[in-house]
Structure 1
Amino acid sequence: MKSKSVFFIFIFALLLILCLWLGLANKRTRRDLQQTQQKLHQLLMQYQEIQQENEQLRNAISQLNQQRSPLSSQGTMMDLRAYYRKNWPNYIHISIAGFNTGLFGGIHHPMIRIENQTDFPLDQVECQLVYIQNNGSIFQAIPLTASDIQAHSEKTITAPDSRRGVKIKIQLQSITSQAMNFCWTSDKAGIPPQADACQCAPAGPHE
């Protein structure tokens, strides 16, 4: 009988300890949950503040763009035109795209490629295609013209066949771009591009 009483007391003590432990764990869980909620609230407030600052920054940038003088944009465009005029050999290229030769000589299907890597269209590019014979002498030279070559594009033109000749070479004669205020001719080939001596019209105050 005494042993049964001790057993029940032991079980009761275990249950009491378990209840106390669960109570403490529950309090700790509620405390952790409250702390987590507080941190989330703080993060939300910080996020809202950042959003407001970003909105203010966007509004400020928008106002600056609206207040920017049109002359500033015009000056930038003119500076860009001058840059391409002074560095045009790096952005405008003319080359032989291909050709065929006959069994006994002759040039067939000669093709010339003009590349325009500037930000401005080229109104006209003139060149001369020279047909060279086996002994190195020139058989004939034919003028070629390519028109309306858009910015950042290329154009390929087909030249006439020749009954004689084993190779060809291309000679650039002129480049005209009114949008760039650029009028280059072969008689200016000896002038360094940096001199900016190939303007179609006199330079403006920003050029």
Structure 2
Amino acid sequence: MPEERRARLTPDERRAQLIATGVNFLADHPLDELTMDVLAQRAGVSRPLLFHYFDTRQGMHLAVVTMARDSLLRASEPRDDLEPRDRIRDTLLRITEFVRQHQSTFHSLVRGIASGDPAVRRVVDESRDLNAQRLIDAFTELGTPDTPALRVAMRSWVAFTEETLLSLVIDRDEDPEQVVRFLEGTLDGVVAATGALQLG
């Protein structure tokens, strides 16, 4: 009996497959090294096919970074069934575990994007804004006033957390529980400080 022919992918499925191949590339390489030629070779497709799906190298980078960012956001989505304090701790533990399992991808998102295309940087900034908003939601639920100072503090603390995870989890392989306790302490300190700052 002849072998069944492999089902052809739809255009959306093919595009998703190509993007996933690009995200996998970030496991070992910075984003800047991901060219159309490299992705075509890894995916086993022609270079013109990639231009059909992405138009430009920048468009391909944007799609890859968006998928990587969305993976991080899904992995760290707060659990609605937890109280605010437990929700924050649970989220930090899951982000830390994501970083441990996807070190190069996280490194590319946080540091490798700095010199990239502005549209790509906006994708990463959107994730920072969303993570900051998640923290604001938790602390306002705990009774902290939603002030401009709190918003500035949470956005800055998210950037601080990214650098902490790079330094302590990736570079030093510190114990995740200790890292999370450290982050919780700094978070409480930052939130407490916002009460003394009145912004217009």
Q: Place the TM-score, normalised by the shorter chain, in its bin.
A: under 0.3
Higher relative contact order (Cα pairs below 8 Å, separated by 6+ residues): 2
TM-score by length of 2: 0.22
Greater Cα radius of gyration, structure 1 or 2: 1
Structure with bigger helix share is 2
Structure with bigger strand share is 1
